[in-house]
Amino acid sequence: MKKLEINAYKCWGCKTCERTCSAAFNEEAPRINVIAKNRNARVPLTCLHCGDPACMQACKFEVISRNSKTGAIEIDLIKCTNCKACLSACPYGNIIWENKRERVVKCNLCGGDPKCAKTCPSGTLMFV
């Protein structure tokens, strides 16, 4: 199963990944965030699809599950009640409150072919 590698030492801070992600979701808030201006470095952050996710543990409605094909942790957006339990529980801050449609979203690896990795010019994001 492929994984999205984040080789943060290569990051240019251009935020192309953020714009690609936003464009892929109809100009909504991007599911990937680049933390720049911190310790003179740039680190892109997105859902780490943890082995034992805190978000899954926090959700009471069984809305979060692992996609068996891609290995990604996914939120069922129709079933989600937007109670923000998962958003608050993620220790890495990688679940996003999408302000335009007022709902909780997160990276789902684009169903197995992440677009951010395709457009990253520095080789920071690689889907291997």
Partner 1 sequence: MTIKFIIDGKKVSGNTGDTILDVARNYDIEIPTLCHHKAVENWGGCRLCIVDIGHRIVTSCLYPIKAGLDVKTDSPRILKNRQMILNLLLAQAPAAKEIQELAKKYGVEPMPLVKGKATHKCITCGLCTRLCAAQGAYAISTVSRGPEKSIGTFWEKPPEDCIGCLICASNCPTGAIEFHEKAGTRKIWEKDFTLEKCKTCGATLPLTTEQVKHYSKRSNLKEEYFTTCDDCRRVGTANTFLDLIHDPSGKLMEKWETAQLPPLKMPSPTKEWFEEQKQKGLLKTEKDIYEEAGN
Distance of closest approach, residue 91 Cβ to partner 1, in angstroms: 6
Q: Does 100 interact with partner 1 (rule: CB under 8 A)?
A: no
Quote the distance between the C-alpha of residue 5 and its chain's center. Answer: 12
Contact between residue 106 and residue 21 where contact means Cβ atoms under 8 Å apart:
no
What whole-number distance in Å separates Cα of residue 83 and Cα of residue 33? 22
Tally helices (H) and strands (E) across the chain.
Answer: 4, 8
For the segment 101-120, give every residue that binds partner 1 (CB under 8 A): 102, 118-119
Contacts of 109 (CB under 8 A, 6+ apart): 4, 49, 67, 70, 71, 72, 127
Q: Does 24 interact with partner 1 (rule: CB under 8 A)?
A: no
Distance of closest approach, residue 27 Cβ to partner 1, in angstroms: 20
Segment lying near partner 1 (by CB under 8 A), choices 22-30, 78-86, 106-114: 78-86
Nearer to partner 1, 84 or 100 (CB): 84
For the segment 44-63, give every residue that binds partner 1 (CB under 8 A): 45, 48-54, 57-61, 63
